[in-house]
Structure 1
Amino acid sequence: MRILRYSFAGALFALASSPSALLAEPSYGLAMYGEPALPADFDHLPYANPDAPTGGRVVTAEVGAFDSLNPYVLKGSVPWQLSYLTGESLMGRSLDEPFTLYGLLAESVETAPDRSWVEFTLNPAARFSDGSPVTVEDVIWSFETLGTEGHPRYSTFWSKVAEIAPVGERGVRITFNTIDRELPLLAALRPILKKSQWDGLDFANNDGITVVPVTSGPYVVDRFETGRYVSLRRNPDYWGADIPFRRGTMNLDEVRFDFFGNETAAFEAFKIGQVNFTRETNVLRWQTQYDFPRTRSGEVVLAELAHQRPTGMTGLVMNSRLPQFADWRVREALIQAFNFEFINETVNGQPQPRIESYFGNSPLGMTPGTATGRVAEMLAPFADTLIPGTLEGYTFPVSDGSERNRAGITRALDMFAQAGWNVGSDGVMRNADGTAFTFDIVVETSAGEVKSIIDIYTQALSRLGITANVISVDPAQYRERTDKYDFGMTYFRRGLTLSPGNEQYLYWGSEGADTIGGRNMMGVKSPAIDAMINQLLTADSNDDFIAAAQSLDRLLTAGRYVIPLYQWNVSRIAYDATLHYPEHHPIFGDWPGWMPEVWWSAAP
């Protein structure tokens, strides 16, 4: 097996290859490229405190509601944190390495030199929260059931499995039907559920409240009131408290999520101490509204934490399935009409950096200007079909900051005209058939800041003769409409990591563009994008991996599918002074696996 050393320092990738060819053998960890950074005898993750005390609680404010506690099926709206805190997989991700996993339910992993199969050996101590052992039968059932009856996000992986079979009493081997270096790592991250719990039950269609999945994680659902709160209790008999991956983590006795109807109510709950941790995404509120009594007394701590993740994409996504959004020139016109600089100043009080591309803030982001080197080579086969700006380079427009945005509106009208849309004598924009340009912008009722942004935007659109109907719906209706792609625009957030892989097919792959409940919200179907995702998954060198990511970034950005908002390169958090986290901050920053996982409670 060719060994490729993979490390991360200062957010830059470095690759060194070893000439030795070794046979596959069991290992304590698994990396996308090369070997894990931590040694086989590591004691704890570098961003965890092995001496942290246990006890205390954290309470967060969530805006919206929930009607299910089963995160493994499509049905229902579930608190997003649940699968991270109650569920477990065969291995766990390190937040200090782009894509390296360490043993969790599995004590070791072995994979073929070409990654055509992977074999896991279960830790004999692994137990579900009811005390029953995690068995090979549970593992195989979980893979099959999630792949065929679970949430659609699991089906793509399952379609690439040729065989899953037991190996002895504690081993499971999974053989794949396609070349994809990431598949062994994805297999390691599949949730493992208790098979016998579901005997005689409909896994996909239960209500998610009367039957809560039995899992092996450190927390269990203790108390809840549907739509209002969920309280998780640390399991004092948790099987894995002393394995290296878990040592110093999951220290808080209670993790509670309180749900509120809007951001204002959630913030007020934090100010009076009903909630003791919050993430602030509104810069203006962070700058102007956190000088309250509990902050001045030192009961509340404010912190700004940088990270080295890609910016991802946050903004208003356009549904290219609809005929009025299918033309890239229309999407460009709608981007030109969005007066980011004026909106930025109005909403935030001072300029905040705009998202420039999907993988910005990282080595995976596209470079300015014309594509060169391996990026140009990868995109060359698709040159005749690429949207203008892909090869030449594309940047989002910058206005003069005035409310009227005259230059942007002028460019928008020109792009609309090129696409066959013009404003008639009645002031309405129509195409050659006389069809008026109108669409729905669907948002949740709780999306206060987003609605403020949309209100400013729709005023600009009205000056172009466009009618944008803003439809506010409750979380259940929002989920139903977005699952069916029943919108013209909606708020969109895709967090991206330093290890992009198969999830990119879910986000923007052609195959899932029309799958109900899928994640390709923009509806893009592009052979070039599909090819770049495939390059990510089959690259046998770090250089090709980076080039594939940069090529994908160009395709998505120049595709003009999303009107981007602000970068999230700094996390702004406020928390009770009794809560603490280790000094060492992982490169992924404030990300699932960090809070509440490595926090603890103690006197300030």
Structure 2
Amino acid sequence: MTSSIFNSLRNGTLALLLGTGAGLAEPAHGIAMYGEPALPADFTSLPYANPEAPTGGRMATAEVGGFDSLNPYILKGSVPWQLSYLIGESLLGRTLDEPFTLYGLLAESVETAEDRSWVEFTLHPEAKFSDGSPVTVEDVIWSFETLGTEGHPRYLGFWEKVESIEETGERKVRLTFNTPDRELALLAGLRPILKKAQWEGEAFAESGLDVVPITSAPYVIEDFEAGRYISLKRDEDYWGADIPFRRGTNVLDEIRLEFFGDETAAFEAFKTGETNFTREFNVARWESQYDFPRARDGEVVLEELPHGRPTGMTGFVMNTRRPVFEDWRVRQAMIEAFNFEFINDAMTGGAQPRITSYFSNSPLGMEEGPAEGRVREFLMRWEEDLLPGALEGYALPVGDGTERNRAGTASALSLLSSAGWVIDNGVLTNEATGEAFAFEILLEQGSSENAAIIDMYVQALERIGITPTISTVDSAQFKERTDAYDFDMTYFRRGLSLSPGNEQYAYWGSEAADTPGGRNAMGVKSPAVDGLIDLLLTSESQDDFIAAAKALDRVLTTGRYAISIYQWNISRIAYDADLHHPETIPVFGDWPGWQPDVWWYEEVAEGETRAGAEADETSANAEPGESPEETAQ
């Protein structure tokens, strides 16, 4: 990763990443939220891809859990998260070096009004599906309409903002919007395009393992066994292998997802070579358990990659739909009782810093102390809706590292008392009704790390008279219950980018709070949150966009909706020495679109090892002061 990008992030500016200038007014090879794309129309390949990468080989990963569907575009079923990236293809493609920029993929050009009230795409003449049939405007229109009406609820918000979609010429399709929202033109470019004819007579929203979606992407599903594995093969006749956005990408012959019952079995599969790529999210395990024979012999490469993305939010979310968590003082008490320093020491040796806000580790994150300038101006528009700390400043409690965490316990009890809860015979009880404080923590089977964290948390809660119920369910039940918001507290992860936009409505917008299968797990219904998301999407300057993001970060953080755990500002990956990636790492780092996209397979000569070379490469790419992701959802 280049030092110029990291310096721009540290200095709190997105100028390098977002661009400046007026909007597009004629067909172009790409589109940016502000200004023009950084890459010229005649660019050869993405700057973090190797256009000379050879084809061949395989990448196999170990996944915890299972699946019962191959359709990632609907609510029904449990689908491996990777499928939407591996088999889906859209009109435009996202670059990982420019947060708000897209380049031509199925569409060879894009045109939009200066006010972004409409966008028009011209399909690439060579675009075709994996069965050899051409991608047509009819397929595009059907895909937008079907996803917006029968697809996963995440597509609904966009579709409601579409006034019309129509064919405007040979290979041309135009969408006109009914609301001011600068991001809509970009979101239109990212909608997956499916083959209309495949779904004639089929129940799109009810499909599962019975229909393998036909798409135009570089990979097709070759074989699978429900809950066990999915094998995707490279389409040797893929139409777009030589367009600039794809050149040097998706060259591995096979991508294989192997599924295991728990983290231990998944790790053993990597150690023995059954799989050949893994991510490690626990620094203690990274430092203590990766000295196995294949790693010592140089057959496995260990690498740490920094990135410039926001931390997002990872931890345990409280469902404010439930009366027990309606009061912000109760939620703050739950945060006070969570002994992060002790838990972090036990789980990671104290090596991983805590997530302090939703957009921390980026120029979009809230700053310490009182809100100032444009951020304060924006917040004051919803002053009556703000909770303590939004204007004045807020920081998470810091314990002394001991198991008892006396200060945190005392603070939690004080907050609970102010909310009407008192200790009665060792049990936290509602002073007015006499009912005990009770709630359930829902966990997914196989996540031993989350279970260990919750075990320590429960011990802390017992000191304030709370004994929660712990329910561990399989992946299908976990998805069913979280889709229905049938939980009090559960583990969740929301990965955030440097280009927050309409997905923020899905994550924490009021309209999404009661949508089954939605992403608003905490049930946020806040005029301030909704209004600040509106500002994000309608800002005409970078300064206002950044101020709106910082203000939104303050409102979400002081909402006390989630108990955050540690952050991953470094991606720790391990992989077979025969797998390779370019030395240039994009600003988003290890993120969908990078792995497996720009990786290739090339056998290391007998007797050689890449360990030393990789170590040098890693340190050369690391920036002073950078903390060393997630998957993508």
Indicate whether the TM-score tops 0.5: yes
Q: Where does structure 1 differ by over 6 angstroms across 4 or more consecutive aligned residues?
A: none
Q: Is the 8 A contact 1:66 1:227 kept in 2?
A: yes
3-state SS, counterpart of residue 204 of structure 1: helix
**Distance in 2, Cα, partners of 1:335 & 1:30:** 42
Per the TM alignment, residue 603 of structure 1 is displaced from its structure 2 partner at its CA by: 1.8
User: Residue 626 of structure 2 aligns with which residue?
Assistant: none
Q: Which residue of 1 aligns with 2:514?
A: 514
Contact 1:8 1:98 in 2 (8 A): no
Q: Deviations over 1:301-340 (max 9, x none)?
A: 0000000000000000000111110100000000000000
Question: 2:155 & 2:288 partners in 1: Cα distance?
Answer: 43
Counterpart among 8, 15, 19 of residue 10 in structure 1? 8
Matched, 1:391 2:391: yes
User: C-alpha distance in 2, partners of 1:195/1:80?
Assistant: 23
Q: Secondary structure at the match of 2:102?
A: strand
Answer whether contact 1:30 1:100 (CA < 8 A) is retained: yes
The alignment partner of 1:467 has SS state of coil
Query: Where do residues 307-322 of structure 1 align in structure 2 (5 Å cutoff)?
Result: 307-322=307-322
Given residue 310 of structure 2, which amino acid in structure 1 is its aligned partner?
A: P
Deviations 1:186-221 (A, max 9, x none): 000000000010111111012x21111110000000
Distance in 2 (CA, whole Å) between partners of 1:541 and 1:408 is 42
Match of 2:590 in 1: 590
The letter of the residue matching 1:332 is Q
CA distance in 2 between partners of 1:310 and 1:381 (Å) = 26
Percent identity, aligned pairs only, is 69
TM-score, length basis structure 1 = 0.97
C-alpha deviation, 1:8, in angstroms: 8.8
Cα distance between partner residues in 2 of 1:22 and 1:317: 39
Within 2, Cα distance between the matches of 1:217 and 1:235? 8
What is the match of residue 259 of structure 2? 259
Q: Which amino acid in the other structure matches residue 36 of structure 2?
A: E
> Which segment drifts farther, 27-36 or 426-435?
426-435
Deviation, 1:13, is 1.2
How many Å apart are 1:425 and its aligned residue?
2.7
**2:367 aligned residue:** 367
- Which residue number corresponds to residue 493 of structure 1? 493
Give the match for residue 465 of structure 1. 465
- Partner of residue 4, structure 1: none
Q: Look up the SS of the partner of 2:244 in the other structure.
A: coil
Aligned equivalents of 2:538, 2:428: Cα separation in 1: 49
Q: Deviations over 1:519-577 (max 9, x none)?
A: 00000100000000000000000000000000000000011100000011000000000
Contact 2:318 2:488 in 1 (8 A): yes
Deviates more, 1:348-357 or 1:265-274: 348-357
In structure 1, C-alpha distance between the alignment counterparts of 2:282 and 2:412, rounded to whole Å: 29
Paired position in structure 1 for 2:631:
none
SS in 1 for 2:191: coil
Pairwise CA distance, 1:85: 1.2
How far off is 1:431 after superposition? 3.9
Q: Tell me if the contact between 2:127 and 2:239 (Cα under 8 Å) persists in the aligned partners.
A: yes
- Displacement of 1:494 in angstroms is 0.4
- Taking the aligned partners of 1:436 and 1:312, their CA distance within structure 2 comes to 34
Report matched runs for 1:308-347 at 5 Å: 308-347=308-347
Is the Cα–Cα contact under 8 Å of residues 306 and 589 in structure 2 kept in the other structure?
A: yes
Task: Provide Cα deviations, 1:206-254, integer angstroms capped at 9, x if missing partner.
Answer: 2x21111110000000010000000000000000000000000001000
Q: Which amino acid aligns with 1:451?
A: A
Say if 2:6 and 2:308, in contact at 8 Å, map to a contact too: no
Q: Which moved more, 1:422-431 or 1:513-522?
A: 422-431
How many Å separate the matches in 2 of 1:502 and 1:217?
25
**Partner amino acid, structure 2, of 1:441:** I
Q: Distance in 1 between matches of 2:52 and 2:385?
A: 57
The alignment status of 1:205 with 2:203, answered yes or no, reads: no
- Partner SS, residue 412 of structure 1: helix
CA contact (8 A) 2:49 2:249 kept: yes
1:180-579 maps to which residues of 2 (within 5 A)? 180-206=181-207, 208-579=208-579
SS of alignment partner, residue 413 of structure 2: helix
Give, in angstroms, the shift of residue 10 of structure 1: 3.3
Verify the 8 A CA contact 2:444 2:473 in the aligned structure 1.
yes
Partner of 1:148: 149
Residues 427, 436 of structure 2: 8 Å contact kept: no
Distance 1:39 1:104 in 2: 15
Shift of 1:465: 1.2
Residues 440-472 of structure 1 show CA distances to partners (whole Å, capped at 9, x for unaligned) of 100111111000000000111112111211100
- Structure 2 letter corresponding to 1:553: D
Aligned to 1:173: 174
Other structure's SS at 1:165 match: strand
Give the secondary structure class of the aligned counterpart of 1:384. Answer: helix
Instruction: Tell me, yes or no, if the aligned pair for 1:63 and 1:261 is still in contact at 8 Å.
Output: yes
**What SS does structure 2 have at the residue aligned with 1:485?**
coil
What are the ranges of 5 or more consecutive residues in structure 1 without an aligned counterpart?
Answer: 1-6
Contact 1:29 1:109 in 2 (8 A): yes
| Residue 351 to residue 429, structure 1, CA distance change in 2 (3 Å) | farther
* Alignment partners' CA distance in 1, 2:196 and 2:385: 48
The answer on whether the counterparts of 2:99 and 2:499 sit within 8 Å (CA) in structure 1 is: yes
Separation of aligned partners in 1, 2:144 and 2:340: 45
CA distance in 1, matches of 2:219, 2:19: 40
Q: Are 2:119 and 1:118 aligned?
A: yes
What one-letter code is carried by the residue in structure 2 that aligns with 1:355? Answer: I
Give me the whole-angstrom Cα distance separating, in 1, the residues matched to 2:325 and 2:210: 42
> What's the offset of the Cα at 1:148?
0.2
**In 1: Cα distance, 2:529 partner to 2:69 partner:** 34
Equivalent residue letter for 1:530? D
Name whichever of 143-152 and 80-89 sits farther off. Answer: 80-89
The equivalent residue for 2:66 is 65
Q: 1:299–1:8: structure 2 CA closer, same or farther, 3 Å change rule? A: closer
Q: What's the TM-score once normalised by structure 2's chain length?
A: 0.93
Q: Give the Cα–Cα distance (whole angstroms) in 2 for the partners of residues 589 and 463 of structure 1.
A: 41
Shift of 1:49: 0.1
CA offsets per residue over residues 149-195 of structure 1, 9 Å max, x none?
A: 00000000000000000011200000000000000000000000000
Match of 1:91 in 2: 92
What letter matches 1:388 in structure 2? P
Corresponding residue SS for 1:438: coil
Are 1:37 and 2:38 counterparts? yes
Letter in 1 for 2:14: F
By how many angstroms is 1:403 displaced? 0.2
Q: Aligned residue for 1:3?
A: none
Partner secondary structure for residue 174 of structure 1: strand
8 Å contact from structure 1 (residues 8, 97) kept in 2: no
Equivalents in 2 of 1:258, 1:334: separation in Å?
37
Look up the SS of the partner of 2:295 in the other structure. Answer: helix
Aligned length: 595
Alpha-carbon separation, structure 2, partners of 1:23 and 1:323:
49
Question: SS state of the match for residue 417, structure 2?
Answer: helix
CA-CA distance at 1:22 after TM superposition: 8.0
Contact 1:429 1:464 in 2 (8 A): no
Q: Residues of 1 paired with 2:107 and 2:425: CA distance? A: 69
**Aligned residues of 1:27 and 1:108 also touching (Cα < 8 A):** yes
8 A contact 2:24–2:36 mirrored in 1:
no
Q: Residues of 1 paired with 2:32 and 2:297: CA distance?
A: 46
Structure 1 residues 22 and 61: alpha-carbon distance in aligned structure 2, compared to 1, 3 A threshold:
closer
Counterpart of 1:336 in 2: which secondary structure? helix
Contact 1:218 1:235 in 2 (8 A): yes
Change (3 A) 1:577 1:22: closer
CA distance, structure 2, for counterparts of residue 413 and residue 16 of structure 1: 50
Aligned CA-pair RMSD: 1.2
Partner-residue secondary structure (3-state), 1:532: helix
Distance (whole Å) between structure 1 residues aligned to residue 508 and residue 315 of structure 2: 16
Answer yes or no: is the 8 Å Cα contact 1:109–1:118 preserved in 2.
yes
